[in-house]
């Protein structure tokens, strides 16, 4: 009787060991490899200065010595390409827009609305305030509005962008079919010229 009990215990131990080995082998086979990582990705800056790709209403943006609150955002897409524009406000009269694009490198542009200009898009080259700009890209995108932007929750926008020297830019936008063009001038920011304070995280 004792021998039978010992044999049963040995058999159970062998079965348990076999099952453990099988499950361990399965886990090794099904473990997904780590995803590819861009060797030029600046994850350190994202940790230290905030991640521009995650900006949302309620965040604070510091640039050129001013702290601006993000009041709302536009999420835009054209085909498979997507980007964002964020409405910034100091609360004391200074309003700006921050565009965030990855094409493929991250590009940050701080925009200021231009009023009272008759300038229209179309030509390959434009001159504004003594600076020459060349046509860069144009198209029509769909947008979704978040929080306060002054626009409908969803819609379309036509755009025509121009590049100038030293990171200067001009952008024409018309929201909705038949809308008039709105003009903004922009300046490309280096990553270390802006700090983002993400709220509620």
pLDDT band at 5 (very low <50, low <70, confident <90, very high): very low
Give pLDDT, residue 16. 57
Phi-psi region of 32 (alpha: psi -120 to 50; beta: other; left: phi over 0): beta
Decide if 21 is inside a domain: no
Decide if 123 is inside a domain: yes
Decide if 2 is inside a domain: no
Decide if 49 is inside a domain: no
Decide if 145 is inside a domain: yes
Decide if 10 is inside a domain: no
Give backbone dihedrals phi and psi of 30, rounded to 5 degrees, phi first: -90, -5
Q: Stretch 97-114: mean pLDDT, rounded?
A: 94
Residue 193: give the domain boundaries.
Answer: 56-197
Give pLDDT, residue 49. 80
> What confidence tens digit (pLDDT) does each residue in 68-95 have?
999 999 999 999 999 999 999 998 888 9
Q: Stretch 35-57: mean pLDDT, rounded?
A: 71
> What confidence tens digit (pLDDT) does each residue in 139-193 have?
999 999 999 999 999 999 999 999 999 999 999 999 998 899 999 999 999 988 9
Indicate the number of domains in the chain: 1
Give pLDDT, residue 40. 54
Give pLDDT, residue 11. 56
Give pLDDT, residue 4. 47
Phi-psi region of 64 (alpha: psi -120 to 50; beta: other; left: phi over 0): left
pLDDT band at 200 (very low <50, low <70, confident <90, very high): confident
Decide if 28 is inside a domain: no
pTM, full prediction: 0.78
Decide if 62 is inside a domain: yes
């Amino acid at each position: 009787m004792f021998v039978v009990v010992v044999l049963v215990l040995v058999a159970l131990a062998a079965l348990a060991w076999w099952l453990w080995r099988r499950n361990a082998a399965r886990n090794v086979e099904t473990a997904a490899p780590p995803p590819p990582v861009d060797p030029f990705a600046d994850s350190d800056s994202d940790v230290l200065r905030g991640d521009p790709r995650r900006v949302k209403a309620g965040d604070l943006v510091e640039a050129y010595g001013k702290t601006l609150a993000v009041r709302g955002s536009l999420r835009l897409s054209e085909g498979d390409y997507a980007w964002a524009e964020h409405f910034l406000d100091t609360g004391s009269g200074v309003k700006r827009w921050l565009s965030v694009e990855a094409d493929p490198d991250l590009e940050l542009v701080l925009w200021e609305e231009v009023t009272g200009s008759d300038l229209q898009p179309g030509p390959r080259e434009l001159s504004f305030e003594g600076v020459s700009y060349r046509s860069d890209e144009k198209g029509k995108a769909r947008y979704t509005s978040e929080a306060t932007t002054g626009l409908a929750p969803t819609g379309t926008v036509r755009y025509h962008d121009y590049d100038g020297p030293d990171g200067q830019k001009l952008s024409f936008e018309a929201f909705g079919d038949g809308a008039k063009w709105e003009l903004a001038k922009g300046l490309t920011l280096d990553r270390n010229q802006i700090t983002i304070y993400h709220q509620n995280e």
